[in-house]
Structure 1
Amino acid sequence: MAKQTILLPALAALCLAGNAAAQGFGKAGEPVIRSEYRPKGDMYRDGWIDFNKNGKKDIFEDPAQPVDKRVEDLLSQMNLDEKTAQMATLYGYGRVLTDRLPTPEWKTDRIWKDGIGAIDEHLNGYPRGGRNSPDKNPWVWPASNHAWALNEVQRFFVENTRLGIPVDFTNEGLRGVESYRATNFPTQLGVGHTWNRDLVYKMGEIEGREAKALGYTNIYAPILDVGRDQRWGRYEEVYGESPYLVAELGIQMVRGIQDQGVAATSKHFVGYSNGKGAREGMARNNPQMSLREMEQIHVYPFGRVIREAGLLGIMSSYNDFDGEPIQGSRHWLTEVLRGRYGFRGYVVSDSDAVEYLYSKHFTAADMKEAVRQAVEAGLNVRCTFRSPDSFIVPLRELVKEGALSEEVIDDRVRDILRVKFLCGLFDNPYKNDLKAADAEVCSEANEAVAKQISLESIVLLKNESHTLPLNRDSVHRIAVIGPNAAATDFVTARYGPNAVEPVSVLDGIRAAAGDAEVVYAKGCELVDDNWPDSELMDYPLTQQEKDSIARAYETAAGADAVVLVLGGGTRTCGENKSRSSLDLPGRQQQLLEAITPLKEQGKKVILVLINGRPLSINWADKYVPAIVEAWYPGRHGGTAVAEVLFGDYNPGGKLTVTFPRSVGQIPFNFPTLPSAQSDSWGANGPRSHRARVNGALYPFGFGLSYTTFAYSDLQLSDTVITPHQGLTVSCTVTNTGTRAGDEVVQLYLHDRIASVMAYEKVLRGFERVHLAPGESKRVEFRLLPRDLEILDLNYKWTVEPGDFTVMVGASSEDMKLKRDFTVVEAGRLLEMRASERKGSLAAKVSASIADDKAANTVDGNLNTVWEGTKNQYITYELRSGAKPTSIGIAWDEGAPVEFEIQLSSGGGLFIPVWKGKSRLNNGSMETYSFDGATSSDLRIVILSDKGRIKEVKLDVSRR
């Protein structure tokens, strides 16, 4: 083999000499890495690689061949040992692997001598510290060293296995790539609260680029679980509780990652987030929900992300559904994923999910039977924190014994290979430009996006008497109080970068306070010594706790403004950390109640929440003047919170979850079925026999701003459509305040009468818009047929004819505008259109130009048009007694058209009743309303250079 361009011997020598010979150290004992990594040798040809080392270009080695042909060619050359080796994950250094780099034993004594499907979290610095610190492990950091090391591992498999099948290097990516260092983002729950598709796409882009730079080819993100129980420990990992929002943001995240040539693997399919009473139990058994809820809430995001983003990987979940474990279910893993949604990627198990079939679900007697059940169901890759032997060996035995057909194995391996081909691993399995990794990972541009996400994720829950923003000129001393004021442990929690330099809220305020003095007191610990038992019964405060609260009070009493930073942390939220209560944990409530009365002395009191789930902060909502929800805001969280407090940034985040008043209301989510969240109500409100609290503390979609917004002019492109048609909805939003700010405009849909119970309302559109003071913007939504679908009595997704209400507003309970439309069968619509034309218009339609084309606008055919130029017009003679109040116009595609609508009562005199520009120039019907009058004629005058009208529809009444 030829000499390598990197500072190393050839790989054959590497395998003989082991790690000591492989690493290559400079004078100071540091590894020496050149900027380029380009292995040389007979197998590396011009434009292709001879993976199977047979001296010719096979179909699978030819980048010009279609992916499916390459997959079949490679699969036909694989033996059983090579196939089964592709069906397992090997956890990296410090987890299962004891070697940082390949050793001679890899060629002879390890099961991965035949290859391996994936290596997970290799050299990623987790767990942080010890042997994973860069001073003890030079392959952890900097990024170029890390990329070089993964290249070396890859090179072993390419050069030293028979077919040279590259490894898929996988890693977590919930808050950023889980490397020693990478750009750190807020937790996914915080990201959801931005309601910003573009930002989520940029986050995916950054994760994809940084993963690729570090040598990874597959990211376990995003999480497509839908939040349903606020007590659940992993609530911090969901985008929210609306399946529509989860799908919309998940699509953007997947596209962002996969556009970089890196696979996205979403989790956890399916129903994982609906555990009974939010209990963990590792297997997350017994989610207790109907098939309809499973489909409408939990399956929905996966289906859309598969179809619309081309998702390449899915992690199956631990839980069962109706007694059938998901990881052993052919229905869910094959019939639904592949059959219904056309998924052509691979399914990887959650860690130990296969083992749980015999150790917790008890549907299998032993590991071999569990392997058979999972693989036959549709599992491609087993993932767990133990050697892959425990899966691969019984898998091979099953085939040899005839208990599992090799055709099933072929089907599973085919999916794995397809993903590897799509990610380019058979075109170039290496990261060539090593120094580019150092420039990419944690770049200033990437960090700027992370900070913007932190800012946009913050939600203002309360702002009584304009307590916020703080005025630097009038606030001279600020007291920052609470266990989360200086805390940053949540920034480096699991499933994200391991070594970052976070900014605490305390440090953020100090940096932003200008000349104001900032003082600090912790006040209490995050939880008390008796927690979690203290969630069930009161324990007296210890003298130490009393003294700590007293010191905090003294600190706060000497300040002009008090910022209480409370909430949760890594002890109260995370995997296997579900709670029994949603109240502030530990002694935080006592601290809050001790400090808040200082507002009576004229001091500004603000509560900042740092937490991973909604909290039932009823007392705070009643007595604390201002409340800011920051979630786990990432590395830049302290800076972002400070900018919000001082008004350098106007908060615009909106809740993607419901804040219940009590755990006694759970399950309490959006969307909800009719009357499911309220007790008996009469015409004047709740009846006297009501026995529990009703309503949310803060509803889905809620969030305040330092400015105000007004909504107006809701328009529908049509009011009658068929089940196969879409609908355009538009409205105007205006900033009526004195500060620039963001408003999340939300569109909800209500199916008024359906064959089954429909949700009271469902989210079907949202846009985050930035508006200067006094500025207005037209916001447009497109409703597609799928947005109107309901899972009918036969469990088929269908659009049922009937009446619908469109609502646009600032939250799920604050609707500003609403209009109705109707869905009818196509034949009925044609009848209605014909009747409308006969009832509204006389036979005569004339025009000042192209008169012979004027009738095209009332022929019911969108393929015919009338075209007018500036100051030309088209006139419609109305039936006797007609009183038009609006007109629908379908403009041809093109630039907006300025025009005027005029009415005449006879004698040739036309009075203008509407003037403006068209908004929908895409062939869709747009309605223009005006004050009607009994008229004989209606005229449309073109004021632009040109206007092309496809169809006109009049809305008239009779005297």
Structure 2
Amino acid sequence: MKRRFSLCISVLLCIGAYAGSGPTIYKKGWIDFNKNGVKDVYEDPSAPLDARVHDLLSQMSIEEKTCQMATLYGSGRVLRDSLPTEQWKNEIWKDGIANIDEQANGLGTFGSTLSYPYVNSVENRQAIQRWFVEETRLGIPVDFTNEGIRGLCHDRATMFPAQCGQGATWNKELISEIARVTAEEAKALGYTNIYSPILDIAQDPRWGRVVECYGEDPFLVGELGKRMIKGLQAEGLVATPKHFAVYSVPVGGRDAGTRTDPHVAPREMRTLYLEPFRKAFCEAGALGVMSSYNDYDGEPITGSYHFLTEILRHEWGFKGYVVSDSEAVEFLYSKHKVAADAVDGAAQVINAGLNVRTNFSLPENFIYPLRHAISEGKISMQTIDSRVADVLRVKFMMGLFDNPYKGDTKKLEKVVHCKEHQNVSMRAALESIVLLKNENNILPLSKSIKKVAVIGPNAAEVDNLICRYGPANAPIKTVYQGIKDYLPDSEVRYAKGADIIDEYFPESELYDVPLNKTEETMIDEAVALAKESDVAIMVLGGNEKTVREEYSRTNLDLCGRQEKLLQAVYATGKPVILVMIDGRAATINWAERYIPGIVHAWFPGEFMGDAIAKVIFGDYNPGGKLAVTFPRSVGQIPFAFPFKPGSDSKGFVRVTGSLYPFGYGLSYTTFDYSALKIENPVIGTQGSVKLSCRVKNTGKIAGDEVVQLYLHDEVSSVTTYVKVLRGFERIHLQPGEEKVVDFVLTPQDMGLWNKDNHFIVEPGTFAVMVGSSSQDIRLQGKFEVK
């Protein structure tokens, strides 16, 4: 309470110090942003959008325009002050700034002092906004941006599973709910623009950022991404999907210093890597986008007129503004070497179509070179006006010129991390869990079991079992605690058994290193505990030390001594259940062969312990499906869905087939598919196909099934994939219940990029496949395109 009061006093003092001595600028129904006593067109809420943009732009100096083309990172990141000071009158943002990122969200140096209680954070941003409105000449409000791929990136906001886990739910309606919760909390806290969703496709599991992706298939990623975008923008926020474009396939799956040279052919680029973004802009209307720092075919994306203007604006009709990923602009001259210096780099990116530069450095590091480029004639004023107009248009659209002071201090405590939002988080955690193996129906375990050993480096871990770009300081329950709470009358004990990584990691992935004394002792303790128990629940996998941005791998086996631990516990002869908590596919071949029960929980968020306990002991029937293929070896990579004919060779000298295919996931019940109906089996090239099937729960318990629709073009002018995902629905069925599942195939679903690089629907026969995974096809049919 004392901290909240002191911040309120600081805010009031700040407002009083910078309110000015003249007549108030706050009029009835409008704000006199330029302080001239006249209602200018841009200040008139009833004026047409384009007229307001044009009027404001006509009043701006070159200094003010260029300041609307850069980001300022918030307190503790780049901005030194938590609140406006007299010195701000001498800073470059005295002429305004496009946006301020991650201000008072709890991740900077000032930590929770500004971010929690929540009201502190709102009042902090409102005070900063008031300075820009009242103390800059034209009063252009700031766009307060933040991350939000697994819930809002704010201290104690509601935490959801990592985006890879969200993808495993295959539930469009649930993603809409996650978006709603994220948006409601962002809106209550006063953020206006969320850098979400990530629309990269996870085609290489070695890459560290697969944890941040919905999956490897463009249709799945695009459909879930659409729901996130629509949900965020339904609350009046801007959704800024990322990373555009062709970012997620660096050579060898490597990240960090080698973020270049994706080996992707033009048709593959269009079909796979650009398709989720096309849906984001053409079907969901996203108003923001983040350009990536990689190149494509030798051309850096952030400096590419083809990508940022021809595709994004001319082809897809994008009306928002493009913000660069951090260092994407600087990479033109520091890494890619296509620009001589910062001035040349600024000219290239602005002429290409970039609107706002972002970096973890002061905005003048870009703005001054930008002004030099303008003065040297490298960028025309027409281009500058066009780029700034895009930024202003979005600010008008989000209502910043009608009510610049966002946030609701009266409803904060009833919104952020409220019980209803926590319920959505719990549901997401449950629906993300995938049952990989259930030999002899070992799962679910009996609730009457007497002695349970919970073993493994992820069993009692919290801090490292989340991914980046989301909430911090959430009350996460460990798996060990979740099982203890679930079985209050049983003896539940814990042994770590091993660390996630050993002291020689990652070099130890290349050769066998003998166990040291400490490691031997840890495994011995785990084995002794298993021997004294009725069942051993092994909680293994990875964490932020093994899978995240800049943390790519050369091996997909269990890290460190975890497999040795698993084998030692299995050798006791006690029943063993493996729970994987990780952010990527793993080559768990030994476990698949010997361990009877395996579930994958990804990084499930704050309800990790409760959700996993409910699944293991049968209070929840898992229905998640893999959104990525699990290869059997890194030697098979690339090995993602969809794939072309003949992409896997004979098994004479190499392993073939996946460990677990795309779309795979078991259940505690069984489902029967029947009655595939194609309503219009003959259509024209611009026609659509309606089809349906029946799915029945033939088991004894309720459960979810993800009904998946695949399509194959039997004869085409260019090679196509063996099958492509073109529809999915997650349904819930009681025992004996049957439902009809409907799908519609549109020309967009049937088209291809032909030899002339035009997207068309070709006449011919199309095969329809409906099933429980990409390999478990239950129903098949055909239709003709004339």
Shared fold by TM > 0.5? yes
Is 1:792 aligned to residue 762 of structure 2? no
For 1:618 and 1:150, the matched residues in 2 are separated by 51
Deviations 1:508-556 (A, max 9, x none): 1111123111011000110001100001111111122111101100001
Residues of 1 paired with 2:446 and 2:23: CA distance?
67
Task: Specify the alignment match of 1:78 in structure 2.
Answer: 60
- Report the equivalent of 1:721: 683
The residue number in structure 2 matching 1:736 is 698
Greater length-normalized contact order (CA 8 Å, ≥ 6 residues apart): 2
- Matched residue of 1:267: which SS? coil
Match of 1:636 among 607, 614, 625: 607
* CA offsets 1:800-854 (integer angstroms, 9 cap, x no match): 0000001000000010000010100xxxxxxxxxxxxxxxxxxxxxxxxxxxxxx
User: Aligned match of 2:17 in 14, 36, 45?
Assistant: 14
Change (3 A) 1:594 1:702: same
Instruction: Quote the offset at 1:133 in angstroms.
Output: 3.9
Query: Is residue 132 of structure 1 aligned with residue 110 of structure 2?
Result: yes
Q: Which amino acid aligns with 2:442?
A: T
- Mapped contact 1:488–1:504 kept (Cα < 8 A): yes
Query: Matches of 1:157 and 1:83 in 2, distance apart?
Result: 15
Displacement after TM superposition at 1:422 (Å):
1.2
Q: Is the 8 A contact 2:497 2:525 kept in 1?
A: yes
Name 2:353's counterpart in structure 1. 378
Structure with the bigger percentage of strand? 1
User: Any gaps of 5 or more consecutive residues in structure 2?
Assistant: 1-7
* Deviation readout 1:555-598 (Å, 9 max, x if unpaired): 01111111000000010000100001000000001001111133
Query: How many residue pairs end up in the alignment?
Result: 778
What SS does the aligned partner of 1:497 have?
coil
Give yes or no for contact 1:806–1:818 (8 Å, CA) kept in 2: yes
Residue 413 of structure 2, aligned match among 421, 434, 438: 438
Equivalence for 1:422:
397
Distance 1:557 1:12, change over 3 A: closer
Q: Which residue of 2 aligns with 1:773?
A: 735
Q: 1:518 to 1:83 in 2, by over 3 A?
A: same
Of 41, 51, 59, the residue aligned with 2:33 is 51
Is 1:118 the counterpart of 2:80 in the alignment?
Answer: no
Distance 1:173 1:518 in 2: 36
Would you say 1:512 and 2:482 are equivalent positions?
no
1:679 aligns with 2:661: no
Q: Distance in 1 between matches of 2:72 and 2:441?
A: 56
SS at 1:201 equivalent = helix
1:671 counterpart SS class: coil
Equivalent position amino acid for 1:421 in 2: F
Once residues 484 and 766 of structure 1 are traced to their aligned partners in structure 2, the CA distance between those partners, rounded to angstroms, is 32
Candidates 802, 813, 816, aligned match of 2:778: 816
How is 1:325-404 mapped onto 2 (pairs within 5 angstroms)?
325-404=300-379
Q: Does 1:500 align with 2:474?
A: yes
| Aligned CA distance change for structure 1 residues 635 and 275 (closer, same or farther; 3 Å) | same
Secondary structure, counterpart of 1:451 in structure 2? helix
Separation in 2, partners of 1:783, 1:694 = 32
3-state SS of the aligned residue for 1:489?
coil
SS of the residue corresponding to residue 772 of structure 2 reads strand
Identity %, equivalent residues: 53
Return the match for 1:291 from 258, 266, 277: 266
SS at match of 1:622: helix
SS at the partner of 2:241?
strand
The 3-state SS of whatever aligns with 2:675 is strand
Listed one character per residue, the Cα deviations across residues 883-923 of structure 1 (whole Å, up to 9, x for unaligned) are: xxxxxxxxxxxxxxxxxxxxxxxxxxxxxxxxxxxxxxxxx
Larger deviation, residues 272-281 vs 810-819? 272-281
Alpha-carbon distance change, 374 to 508 in structure 1, aligned in 2, over 3 angstroms:
same
Instruction: Specify the code of the residue in structure 1 equivalent to 2:392.
Output: L
Q: Which of 651, 656, 673 is the matching residue for 1:694?
A: 656
- On the 8 A contact 2:250/2:258 being kept in 1, the answer is no
Aligned counterparts, 1:131-530, within 5 A:
131-134=109-112, 137=113, 139-282=114-257, 284-431=259-406, 433-473=408-448, 475-530=449-504
Amino acid at match of 2:522: S
Equivalent position SS for 1:732: strand
Secondary structure at the counterpart of residue 529 of structure 1: coil
CA RMSD of aligned residues (A): 1.5
Q: For 1:28-39, list aligned pairs within 5 A.
A: none
The answer for the alignment partner of 2:70 in structure 1 is: 88
Deviation at 1:9, TM superposition (A): 4.8
Match of 1:855 in 2: none
Cα 1:801/1:366, change in 2 over 3 Å? same
8 Å contact kept, 2:211–2:548: yes
TM-score normalised over the length of structure 1: 0.80
- The yes-or-no answer on 1:650 pairing with 2:621 is yes
**Given residue 579 of structure 2, which amino acid in structure 1 is its aligned partner?**
V
Q: CA deviation at 1:124?
A: 1.2
Q: Describe the shift of the 1:707–1:492 C-alpha distance in structure 2 as closer, same or farther (beyond 3 A).
A: closer
1-side partners of 2:736 and 2:37: how far apart?
71
1:170-191 CA-partner distances (Å, limit 9, x unpaired):
1111221111221101100000
Partner of 1:757: 719
Q: CA separation in 1, counterparts of 2:257 and 2:618?
A: 44
- Partners of 1:639 and 1:14 lie apart in 2 by 50
Q: Which amino acid aligns with 1:624?
A: I
Aligned to 2:562: 588
Q: Deviation at 1:40?
A: 12
Work out whether 1:626 is the aligned partner of 2:597.
yes
Partner of 1:803: 765
* Cα 1:12/1:488, change in 2 over 3 Å: closer
In the alignment, is residue 98 of structure 1 matched against residue 80 of structure 2?
A: yes
For the residue of structure 2 that corresponds to 1:354, the secondary structure is: coil
| DSSP 3-state at the match of 1:434 | coil
Whole-angstrom distance in 1 between the partners of 2:474 and 2:72: 26
- CA contact 1:732–1:776 (8 Å) conserved in 2: yes
**Residue 4 (structure 2) aligns with:** none
Structure 1 residue 626, shift from structure 2 partner: 0.3
Q: Helix, strand or coil for the counterpart of 1:811?
A: coil
- Secondary structure of 2:744's match? strand
1-structure distance, mates of 2:252, 2:188: 42
The answer to whether the 8 Å contact 1:472/1:514 transfers is no
Q: Are the structure 2 counterparts of residues 564 and 42 from structure 1 closer, same or farther at C-alpha, using a change threshold of 3 Å?
A: same
- 1:50 deviation in Å? 1.4
Report the equivalent of 1:837.
none
Contact 1:283 1:356 (C-alpha < 8 Å) held by counterparts: no
Contact 2:631–2:639 (Cα < 8 Å) also in 1? yes
Cα displacement (A) at 1:13: 4.3
What is the alpha-carbon distance in structure 2 between the residues aligned to residue 694 and residue 432 of structure 1?
A: 55
Q: Is the 8 A contact 2:67 2:96 kept in 1?
A: yes
Q: CA deviation at 1:433?
A: 3.2
AA aligned opposite 1:228: Q
Instruction: Tell whether the 8 Å contact from 2:188 to 2:407 is kept in structure 1 after alignment.
Output: no
CA displacement, residues 350-375 of structure 1 (integer Å, 9 cap, x when unaligned) = 10110010111000111111111111
Q: Choose 1 or 2 for highest CA Rg.
A: 1
578-587 or 429-438: bigger deviation: 429-438
| Local SS of the residue matching 2:329 | helix
Contiguous gaps of at least 5 residues in structure 1: 1-5, 18-38, 681-685, 825-959
Distance 1:449 1:12, change over 3 A: closer
Shift of 1:65: 2.2
Name the counterpart of 2:3. Answer: none
Aligned with 1:245: secondary structure?
helix
- d(CA) in 1 for partners of 2:328, 2:742: 44
Give the aligned partner of residue 543 of structure 1: 517
CA contact (8 A) 2:212 2:467 kept: no
3-state secondary structure, aligned to 2:274: helix
Partner of residue 892, structure 1: none
Q: Verify the 8 A CA contact 1:371 1:395 in the aligned structure 2.
A: yes
